Amino acid sequence: MQEESIPYLHRDISWLTFNYRVLQEAKDPSVPLFERIKFLAIYSSNLDEFFRVRVAHQHSLVRLGKKTKKRLEHQPEEVLKKIHKIVNKQQEEFSQIFMEQIIPELANQQIFLRNHKELKKDQKEFAEEYFQSNLLPYVQPVLLEKKKIRVFLKNATLYLAVHLIPEEDQTKNNARYAIIQIPSEHIPRFIELPSADGKHELMMLDDLIRHNIYLLFPGFIIEDTYSLKLTRDAEIYIEDEYSGDLIEKIKKGIRKRKVGPATRFVFDRTMPKKLLEYLMEDFSLQKEDLIPEGRYHNNYDFFGFPNFDLSYLTNPPLPPLNKRSLEAHDSIFKCIKKRDHLLNFPYQSYKYVVKFFEEAANDPAVTHIKIIQYRVAAKSRIMDALMKAAQSGKQVTSFVEVKARFDEEANLSWAERLEKAGVHVLYSFPGLKVHAKLALISRIEDGETKNYCYLGTGNFHEKTAKIYSDLGLFTKDTRLTNEVARIFKFLETVKEPKHEFKHLLVGQFNLRSSLNKMINKEIKNARAGKKAMILIKCNSLEDKAIIQRLYAASAAGVTIKIIVRGICSLVPGIKGVSENIEAISIVDRFLEHARIFYFYDGGKEHLYLSSADLMTRNLSLRIETAFPILDKDIAKEVKNFLRIQLKDNVKARIIDGKKDSLYRKDGSDLPVRAQLETYYYLKRKKENGL
């Protein structure tokens, strides 16, 4: 089968299907009301980033010459057309969910969103006083005047376009237009109004401004107002990454990001055509930039929707569990010395990862600490521990990936703080991202240096560890620690390791080739009539060469089961191509982030946890790690996690390239919701002392 001819779903179209699964959670009546509102926010936030990055990429492809575009498999104009069609349909459903489901459900709970036409006398007085006291310093109306007054629209910022008529114009033919920025970065988007009888009444900031807008335009009649927002290209383009100061180029790119070209102009779909055409000309917008939406934008502000302490409208708490095996000694190093330990977040506490670094900072036997920093919390006890360790004389090395999209500025800031504290900071490589999640700590024990490692599927980020589902391994096994040390040596010297990686699969070295070998082994076994099986859990599956190998495996009779949260360019269930492949996606209260690769290999079984998705960028353009689970008990536990996920018949959706996002039903009378089952599985183990 030629790679060019294989069934393949474009990654951006597949991603929109994933984001629709997020929207499904917002309309699921079994999800608590405030969580449904949160999923509206997640959907909107995801879509914003998609337009800033992926749609911006398609726009850049449009600008290529005809000869270059001929070589592209998917023409960007067609991709953009499909994207807009799908997004427009989803936006209509978003508005329907909000207006026809969320608003009535809020009303059932005595929570009401009032617009500026529904206010009672005391609420009007409150709104006017609030505007005068809190908003006047921030609202700066600008009358638009073609070719004379041009307004720069900030990225992802809310505005009101105002249709005005001078009071002396009796014919209403002399229309004027104005723009007002809605200061939602300074003022809460949801403002609580005076209310009685146990009600909670809210007004959106947009509507509060609408109510008082006449104060801003004396001498004019306000015909109407329409909300709008512009999304700008967030890609950092570096013409020559291999020469000059890469860090300075990143800083310059961050500054340019704020003024990047438009990738999306969202507007109230009731806006008159004449006003829309005026704005298009004034802001130099193209037809393909336009996305009609409802009355309100920047719906990620729903993250700040007040909960009024109504806990029954949120998910019941699942307090992170302690890990008994890591509580056995007062020192985490003593625990790791005894055996390997697997942590499953957010079900189990992240405190052990924090303790790993804090204990190392205070332990006189520790000489070296090495860590890869990809994304880090704004307030991080781990980073504080690194700085404390350096200040106490330990040799601390932090590799900082400054090309982590949207975290560039934060990572540069942390890097500067770390350097000031005495940490040896290593920065990004040109043309290569370091995405591995590794830490290595060296201790002197009985006169010898012993290495302890943490290998994970997720970042060293205390905040996301509470909402991302990830796996992490503590180990002292020299088969792994020696090779982790080899990775850090490569990062420090940029010299290819002298010895091959025998246990770790490492991007740029043996990750892709090792995965291919294991897939090919399953193909060989299937053709020999032996049992052959591959299980994959990942966030994204997009790499064409890997997809082609998986199709070949399916055609040979290998049973393949895939759990993929987001992009899935592979199309399961095609006769003669992928009929032995089943794929599901699980979207639930926690974001599925762990990557797991399992190969049966005639009963020998190879099981890896990984930082890498099956995308070309991860397999070919990054330093990634897939690490084997060598402890039999831990391997059994990971396989149990996979079994639980594969049995999900509540939050699992079918991936088939056609009816993607249909809920998977297996005919069982017993509901299995994988995330809850995982939590209670681990809780039972803890209570049984395991």
- Residue 134, classified by CB atoms within 10 Å of its CB into exposed (0-12), middle (13-18) or buried (19+), is middle
329 is catalytic: no
Contact indicator for 578, 6 with CB cutoff of 8 Å: no
Residues in contact with 368: Cβ distance below 8 Å, sequence separation at least 6, in sequence order: 394, 395, 396, 397, 440, 441, 442
Nearest Cα to 83, choosing from 142, 31, 16, 135?
16
Residues counted in the chain: 690
**Residue whose C-alpha is closest to residue 206's, from 219, 190, 220:** 190
Q: How far is it, in rounded angstroms, from Cα 302 to Cα 106?
A: 13
Residues whose CB is less than 8 angstroms from the CB of residue 137 and which lie 6 or more positions away in sequence, other chains included: none
Active-site residue (options: 435, 499, 593, 606):
435
Q: How far, in Å, CA of 265 to CA of 279, rounded?
A: 10
C-alpha span between 514 and 521 (Å, rounded): 11
Half-sphere exposure of 195 (CA within 13 A, CB side): 17
Q: Look up residue 275 and give its two tokens.
A: 């006003």
CA–CA separation, 273 and 270 (whole Å)? 9
Phi, psi values for residue 475, rounded to 5°: -150, 155
Largest CA distance in the chain: 95
Helices 205-212, 121-130: crossing angle, 10 deg rounding: 90
First to last CA, the chain: 48
Give kind and range of the element (H or E) at residue 538.
strand 533-538
Please list the active-site residues. 435
